[in-house]
Structure 1
Amino acid sequence: MAASTLLKTLTGVILAGSLFATTHANAETRVTYKSAKSTSSYYQMAVQIAEAMKAGSNGDIILTVEESQGSVQNVMEAAVRPGNYVFTTPPALVRLAAAGKAMFKDKQNPKFSDIRALFPIPSLTMHFVVRDDSGITKFSDLEGKNILIGKGSFGAREGAKYLKLFGLEGKVNLANVELSNAVPALKNKQIDGFVTAGSYPAPNVIEAAAGTGVKVLSLSEDQIKQTKRTRLVIPAGTYAGIETDTVTTSLPVVAYTTTNMSDETAYELTKTYWEQKEKMGADHAWWKGVNTDMLSNISGKIHPGALKYYAEKGVTVPETAK
């Protein structure tokens, strides 16, 4: 082969290789996913979503999960983070940020109005768990009983709030036991029940139901109104031995991004999430509680790319979110 011919051949191979590498690099979409503390269930969910995105997109979507100190930090960073920034937060915080109220009162930023929703993730669900043999069937029966509500967590704050709302403040013996010890304490009859907030089915409630007969208390419609939280129904059979629906409250959580994200990327993220949700649910039960009806919990606008996916699937979204 002549030197000139060999040079042309080598040049062609190099250019072809460069073109392939460039095409592959362009096809790969990198996304930062700001979640929660690394010890929380929501961080575990973020890792699961990252794995699902990679698998569902054949490696074209790569999520890098970042630890967070909480939802307020996630929302604050939405005003300054460039590119494909996704974060999780209760919708109420997005509403407060846009209005410059509460914890955002002195931190207003016009870019908060650029926040856009993608899809719901498992809600924080209140569980009032009691032993079957405790004689407790409704909230008024908690009077004089030993109940563990923990401390410092969302569930502990909500538990204390509900006891006050329902006229039980000071009438319940609050157990001085760590929430992590709730199941053995229930089994050993040190406590009559415990309060926990987690994405259902909650692992500690599954454990309690499997090892000790339990009930999960339902709230009346009036009690739900008093809490000002979102109504949620835990289906019958979710926990061993509980064969009726449990009506309780929840704090919805949604994955958001900003208008910095392209419509194409938002579409692919949303599409891949819903296509992979059933598979995620087979491995991790908390995904089974997520459905498109939860889009009604969204505050603010849904990203146009996500809206395109929902329109294709005939999913109803709130008019206010369009």
Structure 2
Amino acid sequence: MLKSALRLGLAAVAGFALALPASAETRITYKSAKSSSSYYQMGVQIAEAMKAGSGGDIIVTVEESQGSVQNVMETRARGGDYVFTTPPALVGLAQGGKAMFEGKSSPKFDEIRALFPIPSLTMHFVMSKESGATDFAGMEGKTILLGKGSFGAREGEKYLKLFGLEGKVELAEVELSNAVPALKNGQIDGFVTAGSWPAPNVIEAAASTDVTVLTLTDEQIAQSKRAKLVIPAGTYSGQDADITTTSLPVVAYTTTAMDDDTAYAMTKTFWETKAKMGETARWWNGVDEGLMGTITGKIHPGAQRYYEEVGFALTDAQK
């Protein structure tokens, strides 16, 4: 009798457990950039969009990072819940064991797969109207802030050399975070910054003082060996014409350790919520199907499924 009652009780508990809805919640770690950067803000926006767009099924935790190289290196120890951002060129270097990845190769690097593009790192050469500079030649003899250690600083220094300005401009010893007040008080004539567009510090500079954001010629863009990008007229206060500049693509990646269904769900949710994100942060409006061509490596099979559904053309190298 006691055994029968126990069997009935256990059966009832088992039935109740089966009746409970299975949790479909997927937790993802998203690693992007320093907390003070626009790319960290993008990570927060993506986390919010994933939660809302998936009905709470995808929960993203944003982790601060010291940069793209660290993001790639961490794939060696991370699992299928890891998403990170980096330029596609760095993935290629990691997989080839070149440059900063020399001697640090890992089979894990070969498992890196793309999910979707995010706003590109866009070069801005911002000059005060008072400086009179309207092109790169006009920068000669001016005081320019490049910053230190960032992609924008390295790229800005490269362009000064390429365009014959090395040693012909005075480089300001000021932190990039102080660029706008330094420009307003005449401490500098201009600054160089790289980030998504519209760039917050360029918006602030254009709103608080008259500035000119320099346009690059097609010849200069070819010399830079970077992608051409056009910032539409009206993006910044007082900007009456398009700005032609260069950019470095940035992509959200994971590895083959992520299951296909999760990669599919994340990619689908990103594209379906992108327009909504663009209503409050205009940098998302620069992300469209055209940026798919900037993904030079392989795309995760789960993400491929979504792109095939919506008719995005993929190259053989991306499959």
Asked if Structure 1 and Structure 2 have the same fold, meaning a TM-score greater than 0.5 normalized by the shorter chain, the answer is: yes
**Range with greater deviation from structure 2 (76-85 or 279-288):** 76-85
Query: Runs of 5+ in structure 2 lacking a partner?
Result: none
The correspondence of residues 158-307 of structure 1 with structure 2, limited to 5 A, is: 158-307=155-304
Counterpart residue number, 1:49: 46
TM-score between both structures, scaled by the size of structure 1: 0.92
What amino acid does structure 1 have at the position aligned with 2:106? N
TM-score between both structures, scaled by the size of structure 2: 0.92
Rounded to whole Å, the distance in 1 between the matches of 2:313 and 2:260 is 19
1:296-319 per-residue CA deviation (whole Å, 9 max, x = no partner) reads 111210111111111111112333
- 8 A Cα contact 1:137 1:217, kept in partner: yes
1:205-243 per-residue CA deviation (whole Å, 9 max, x = no partner) reads 111111212111111111112222222111111111112
Cα shift at 1:22: 5.4
1:92-120 per-residue CA deviation (whole Å, 9 max, x = no partner) reads 11101111111222112222111110001
- 8 A Cα contact 2:122 2:194, kept in partner: yes
Identity of aligned residues (%): 68
Counterpart residue number, 1:134: 131
Q: Name the count of aligned residue pairs.
A: 318
1:68 matched to 2:65: yes
1:269-310 per-residue CA deviation (whole Å, 9 max, x = no partner) reads 000001111111112222122112111111210111111111
The correspondence of residues 141-160 of structure 1 with structure 2, limited to 5 A, is: 141-160=138-157
The alignment partner of 2:179 has SS state of helix
The correspondence of residues 22-101 of structure 1 with structure 2, limited to 5 A, is: 23-24=22-23, 27-101=24-98
- 8 A Cα contact 2:49 2:273, kept in partner: yes
What amino acid does structure 2 have at the position aligned with 1:23? A
Rounded to whole Å, the distance in 2 between the matches of 1:21 and 1:102 is 53
- 8 A Cα contact 1:230 1:249, kept in partner: yes
Choose from 110, 114, 125 the match for 2:111. Answer: 114
Rounded to whole Å, the distance in 2 between the matches of 1:92 and 1:32 is 22
Counterpart residue number, 1:3: none
Q: Calculate the aligned-residue CA RMSD, in Å.
A: 2.3
- 8 A Cα contact 2:80 2:254, kept in partner: no
Counterpart residue number, 1:18: 17
- 8 A Cα contact 1:295 1:318, kept in partner: no
The alignment partner of 2:22 has SS state of helix
